Structure 1
Amino acid sequence: MKKLVIIGLVIAGLFSPMLLVKADVNPKLNGIHPLKTEEVNSVQVKRLSGRSRIFQINDGYEEVIIRKVINWINTSRPANGVTEFESYKSPVKLKVTMSNGDVASLEPVFNCITENDGKTCTLVDSEVLYTQNKVKVRLKSQELYDWLLVGWKYESYGASKEELLDETLYFRYFTQLDEKNSDFIMCPKIDSIERIAGADRRHIVQASALNYGAHHGDVPYDRINITLSDTPENGVKITNVSIEKGISGKESRIQCRRES
């Protein structure tokens, strides 16, 4: 029963918070306080041309994207320069809506020069203007700047077919694990499948997953590696189980297909 409950939680939000490595943040930056992901409802990007996209915190896949963006905001460095612009229309704007109704916003920074009765404005590379509770501050973050301009367009819509197939197969085999390994339900992968003596109904499978208990990011993930046989006559037989303790942040992101 415990396994069924855990599997249900995974389906509701399998990939939630594991993506980000825990980072140090400035406790207060020119009147700006760090954002808390658990207090965010959504992140929306809107272009002046009309195209937009919204990422919802209650979507397990999009929560990973929101955590990434909030981490970039919280770890950005302050930048010098003005924060008020005349006749300035940003081509793209990011809006962070909190659960209490507060809204924070981000937009790229421009340098504008007026000469010969004309005005020329150019983007300031890696800088964004951040507004929170009517307080404005310029921040410097190449990752945040790049994502605000173009990166958000290329975020995937949900899990790929490959990920869904991996989940389906893994949880077929998951029920064969000992109760002591029931926490290994994060980011399941089928690492390899080989036919036994060329038979198309008999296979050797290698699978892996991370422990759900580390998803808050306080400690590194552990990874389980499983080798098993799957045949019509004998069903699923697990032949080897090993645990990798405290894998690196990069390895955990690769496991969850968030880094290559």
Structure 2
Amino acid sequence: MRKLVILVMGIVGLFYPMQMLLVKANIQPKLEAEDVSYIQVNRLNGETHSFEENNGYEEVIINKVVNWINTSSPSEEAIELELNKTSIVSMMKIKLKNGDVAVIEPAYNCVFENQVKTCMIADGEVIYTRNNKKIRLNSLELYDWLLVGWKYESVGAPKDELLEETLYTRYFSHLDKAYSDFIMCPKIDKVERINFDTRRHIIHASALNYSAHHGGVLFDRIHITLTDTPENGVKINKVTIQKGISDRESRIQCRRES
């Protein structure tokens, strides 16, 4: 009896570390958006598209995808390791600035019947691979985006935003060179007619300082008030600098949060 107990304890001791590794393998993956260089989606039919970190509009898309990864939940279903790669309809590569590459692909559920293995794509689940470690995740948003959502992303600025940028560039040229850094996320906050005249306006504009873009510090914001009239042209009336605005305020300024 004593020998049997020792044998059972020995078996438990052998398998316990393996169980711990399996638990650790299911730890929720965490990424930082600022560590991502680009995201590339490749389709089985040859379609491909990359979203670059240094593109202000595509950076927002990268932030969204990273957030879906970080808020997904581990799945308890098995990870199929012997799938034919030609059956994977879509795959996403996430290139990190440290050289690592993470891969996301759809998850599959497989069954054996009459010695034939049949696999079907698992709705709402993906496989996340990094450093040869695979994790199966539940994320309907990530799954939908991987299969079709990426094709419908708007990667350019809308017309009203382009108009604001054009106006800001015109008025920015009248500022002193001391404010040359305030070129990021320009906005025309308010336009007022002077005495109801459609040719004369008071303009309220704002922008962020570009140097804080990747500096790990809070943004400063410039506020400009000016008049634009046919007889006097552009005249700067007031300039103020708002130091260290919150992350939320900077996201609103850049139209990344309402």
Does the pair score TM above 0.5?
Answer: yes
Deviation at 1:104, TM superposition (A): 3.0
SS of 1:226's equivalent in the other structure is strand
2-structure distance, mates of 1:120, 1:91: 13
Check if 1:62 corresponds to 2:61.
no
Deviation at 1:190, TM superposition (A): 1.2
For residues 17-44 of structure 1, give each alpha carbon's deviation from its aligned partner in whole angstroms, at most 9, with x where no partner exists: xxxxxxxxxxxx7499966767755422
Q: Which residue of structure 2 lines up, in the alignment, with residue 157 of structure 1?
A: 155
Higher relative contact order (CA 8 A, sep 6+): 1
Unaligned runs of at least 5 residues, structure 1: 1-28
Deviation at 1:147, TM superposition (A): 2.8
Q: What amino acid maps onto 1:84 in structure 2?
A: E
Question: Residue 185 of structure 2: which of 180, 184, 187 is its match?
Answer: 187
Deviation at 1:173, TM superposition (A): 1.6
2-structure distance, mates of 1:145, 1:197: 55
Percentage of matched positions with identical amino acids: 59
More helix by share: 2
CA shift in 2, pair 1:77/1:219, >3 Å: farther
CA shift in 2, pair 1:63/1:112, >3 Å: same
Q: Which residue of structure 1 lines up, in the alignment, with residue 198 of structure 2?
A: 200
Question: Residue 102 of structure 2: which of 101, 104, 107 is its match?
Answer: 104
Q: What amino acid maps onto 2:136 in structure 1?
A: R
Q: What amino acid maps onto 1:121 in structure 2?
A: M
Once the two structures are overlaid, the 10-residue window that deviates more, 159-168 or 76-85, is 76-85
Once the two structures are overlaid, the 10-residue window that deviates more, 93-102 or 106-115, is 93-102
Unaligned runs of at least 5 residues, structure 2: 1-23
Deviation at 1:230, TM superposition (A): 0.6
CA root-mean-square deviation: 3.6
2-structure distance, mates of 1:196, 1:80: 66
CA shift in 2, pair 1:204/1:60, >3 Å: same
Q: Which residue of structure 1 lines up, in the alignment, with residue 89 of structure 2?
A: 91
CA shift in 2, pair 1:213/1:115, >3 Å: same
Q: What amino acid maps onto 2:238 in structure 1?
A: N
Q: Which residue of structure 2 lines up, in the alignment, with residue 215 of structure 1?
A: 213
Query: Does structure 1 retain, via aligned residues, the 8 Å contact 2:129–2:135?
Result: yes
1-structure distance, mates of 2:31, 2:221: 30
Q: Which residue of structure 2 lines up, in the alignment, with residue 43 of structure 1?
A: 39
Query: Does structure 2 retain, via aligned residues, the 8 Å contact 1:32–1:135?
Result: no
SS of 2:162's equivalent in the other structure is helix
CA shift in 2, pair 1:232/1:251, >3 Å: same
Deviation at 1:249, TM superposition (A): 3.2
SS of 1:170's equivalent in the other structure is helix
Q: Which residue of structure 2 lines up, in the alignment, with residue 148 of structure 1?
A: 146
2-structure distance, mates of 1:243, 1:216: 20
CA shift in 2, pair 1:138/1:87, >3 Å: closer
Question: Which has the higher Rg, Structure 1 or Structure 2?
Answer: 2
Query: Does structure 1 retain, via aligned residues, the 8 Å contact 2:106–2:121?
Result: no
Q: Which residue of structure 1 lines up, in the alignment, with residue 49 of structure 2?
A: 53
Q: 1:23-34, aligned counterparts within 5 Å?
A: 30=25
2-structure distance, mates of 1:144, 1:250: 24
Deviation at 1:91, TM superposition (A): 2.5
Q: What amino acid maps onto 2:122 in structure 1?
A: L
Q: What amino acid maps onto 1:208 in structure 2?
A: S
1-structure distance, mates of 2:95, 2:102: 7
SS of 1:202's equivalent in the other structure is strand
Deviation at 1:177, TM superposition (A): 3.3
SS of 2:183's equivalent in the other structure is strand
1-structure distance, mates of 2:241, 2:99: 44
TM normalised by structure 2 equals 0.69
CA shift in 2, pair 1:118/1:81, >3 Å: closer
